[in-house]
Chains A and B, each alone.
Chain A
Amino acid sequence: MQQTDGDSVLRVRGLNKRIGRKTIIHSISFDVRAGEIFGFLGPNGAGKTTTIRMLVGLIRPTSGSVEICGRDVQKQPEEALKYVGSIVENPEMYPFLTGWENLTHFARMQDGIDEKRIREVAELVHLGGRIHEKVRTYSLGMRQRLGIAQALLARPRLLILDEPTNGLDPKGIKEMRSFIRELAAGGLAVFVSSHLLSEIQLLCDRVAIIGGGKELAVGSVEELMGAGKGMVIWDAEPRTKALALLGRYADIAVIDAVGAAALEDAAAALLNERSIVTETPEERVAEVLDRMVREGIAVRGVHRVAPTLERLFLQMTEGEGIE
């Protein structure tokens, strides 16, 4: 393995993409280092997939550069892509081949992958005996795992996963997370895109947040997301009284139904007709609760939930919102 400048495995500088007259990606720059999990966060349509396609050479950037282990993807694709394993959008494999045949197919395209290595990655993703069945018969989770096996075949130094937990059940999502963490612990640089804030919070070390094809922020996850005001769901009766009380605090913002609709599923499941969704500073919760009790409001529940991506954007763009 050769040494690269610093320890950044993926170096993206001033990436732009114009299609026709429309610029869809505006100068995106970031670095992904060895052993870290880097999140790429943005709502659907923000340009995540287009950016990923530029990282792996599927789309030619209008300007800017992508370097993988010091090799430019556009100028030296064979040298640069050797270090990358990727799943762009869905893990699409040949349905008429078995999992094993699929892996053999992609192994043939590269040097230094023998049968032993194929067996190794197949075991790594726990496909077991089903590896010899046609991919047509696989569930989405199995396809996802086969896709990862394919991406890991050539012992890459950078793994690019586009929405890796999409379509997985909760157990699958948990497994996927711990699997990705294991890989990163082994020194692999992992790039993960997602439109779910909680996903990124649970998984990533650093994150780039993009919206409307623009990079809004790059930094560590705590730094960027800790800054965001936490959201609290109040479940109290009578609702009008509770609402009035909350309104008295200047630093508590009540979020309307439209804003609440953007809550992630796990949080949305807590809502009922009495729920009041607010942005409440953490240190205020106890005080407000105390006051509610004293004023005779029956508090049924208080939940702190992850801020939605949309709220984070609002804070970040100071009210500009997502285009």
Chain B
Amino acid sequence: MKRFWAMVQNEVVKIVKKKRFYIVLLILAVLVPIFSYAQMKQSLERRESYGSDWRLEVQQAIIDNQNSLSSDRVPQEWKVYRQIYIQQMQYYLDHDVNPNEPGGVTFTREFIDNSATLFIPLMILTIASDLVSSERTTGTIKMLLTRPVRRWKVLLSKLTALLMFVSLIVASAYLICYLISGAFFGYSGWNIPIFTGFVLNGSDVDLTYVQATPQWQYLLMQAGLVWFVGVVVALLAFMVSVLVRSTAASIVVMMAALISGSILTNMASAWTSAKYLFMVNLGLTEYLAGNPAPIKGMTLGFSIGTLAVWAAVSVIISFGVFTKRDVLT
């Protein structure tokens, strides 16, 4: 056991020394201020047009969306989306809660919602995609596998280090986001009620399960889901990294999968069996926010289950291939 943790330490040292994790932090530290600034501009503009009363703004949003419902040029799927949006806004209005109240915490919640399916997975790829393939590219795999340690232990130490970094990336995304956006909008907002539990019934929203959750609690649930998505993406990327020799190819394969996922999601697919693909199931936080599922029949439970199956299969393949394969080059 001591040996195993020493090997995990090895992997952590290699990830840190390769400066992969710094890159992730750097990207976050550069992007978050940019988004924060954009957000600040937006709320300033709002204040100009609606004054200080947020109710006017929400009412205006409801009216705009209602108008577009009667237009023939708006596709049917969008109409469903907008109807749900109207009902949610109405609910906020009825309960006297400002859904757009600016603040560091709210910004963080929205930023993570938007980055859960693509941005955070990309950060994870920078580490996961070259974990095994880079050892093969540089030939160090020969040194690693000629030591008196069974191959599955070598792979497990890598996997353990990877999961540690997934957790670290998710945590630092939250932290950096909160710290930087707080400088723009203030650090308050932990207790703003967020409504969750909107159940969709066709084009109608069932409000019976809706409850107000303090924002901090919402953030915790969101973090759990984002972490889960991160782990699944990491495990898939890990498998690709075992199968593919070059790190570049390994990143490209995973990126193509992720991007195709967001394209498929936007197509609001009529192709229902696409729901078994892992890429369309990555938007777990959407369920939390009460947004409609990209494909009919998808629920939070379904998506978690599908992702879990994908993750389990990729772990099995990773270990199966890594322990059996001849190291020829």
Interface window among A1-9, A26-34, A54-62: A54-62
- A239 on the B face (CB < 8 A): no
| Interface size class, chain A | 20 to 34
Flag if A78 contacts B17 (CB, 8 Å): no
- A79 on the B face (CB < 8 A): yes
In the bound complex, how far is the Cα of B140 from the Cα of A78, in angstroms?
19
A65 contact set on B, CB distance < 8 A: none
| Interface size class, chain B | 20 to 34
B10 contact set on A, CB distance < 8 A: 105, 108-109
Flag if A84 contacts B150 (CB, 8 Å): no
- A51 on the B face (CB < 8 A): no
Which residue in chain B gives the minimum CB-CB distance to A111? Answer: B3
Checking B149, B327, B328 against A109 with a beta-carbon cut-off of 8 angstroms, the contacting residue is B149
Flag if B143 contacts A97 (CB, 8 Å): no
Flag if B326 contacts A92 (CB, 8 Å): no
Flag if B148 contacts A56 (CB, 8 Å): no
- B139 on the A face (CB < 8 A): yes
Flag if A58 contacts B150 (CB, 8 Å): no
How many residue pairs, one in A and one in B, have C-beta atoms under 8 Å apart?
80
- B146 on the A face (CB < 8 A): yes
- A184 on the B face (CB < 8 A): no
| Chain B contact residues, majority secondary structure | helix
Flag if A58 contacts B13 (CB, 8 Å): no
- B95 on the A face (CB < 8 A): no
Which residues, 130 to 176 on B, are CB-close (under 8 Å) to A?
138-140, 142-150
- A94 on the B face (CB < 8 A): yes
- A80 on the B face (CB < 8 A): yes
Checking A60, A79, A84, A94 against B146 with a beta-carbon cut-off of 8 angstroms, the contacting residue is A84
- B234 on the A face (CB < 8 A): no
A158-177 vs B, CB cutoff 8 Å, 1 = contact: the mask equals 00000000000000000000
A93-107 vs B, CB cutoff 8 Å, 1 = contact: the mask equals 111110001000110
Which residues, 1 to 54 on B, are CB-close (under 8 Å) to A?
3, 6-7, 9-10, 13-14, 17-19
Closest approach, in angstroms, between the C-beta of B270 and any C-beta of chain A? 45
Closest approach, in angstroms, between the C-beta of A10 and any C-beta of chain B? 14
Checking A53, A82, A88, A89 against B148 with a beta-carbon cut-off of 8 angstroms, the contacting residue is A82
Q: A58-B142, A94-B138 are in contact. Are A105 and B13 (CB under 8 A)?
A: yes
- A226 on the B face (CB < 8 A): no
Which of B3, B147, B326, B327 has the most C-beta atoms of chain A within 10 angstroms of its own C-beta? B147
In the bound complex, how far is the Cα of B142 from the Cα of A95, in angstroms?
15
Flag if B146 contacts A108 (CB, 8 Å): no
Flag if A109 contacts B7 (CB, 8 Å): yes
In the bound complex, how far is the Cα of B176 from the Cα of A194, in angstroms?
56
What are 21 contact pairs spanning A and B, CB under 8 A? A53-B327, A57-B146, A58-B326, A58-B327, A59-B328, A77-B150, A78-B149, A82-B148, A93-B140, A94-B138, A94-B140, A96-B14, A96-B19, A101-B13, A105-B14, A108-B7, A108-B9, A109-B6, A109-B148, A110-B149, A111-B3
Residues on B facing A (Cβ under 8 Å): 3, 6-7, 9-10, 13-14, 17-19, 138-140, 142-150, 324, 326-328
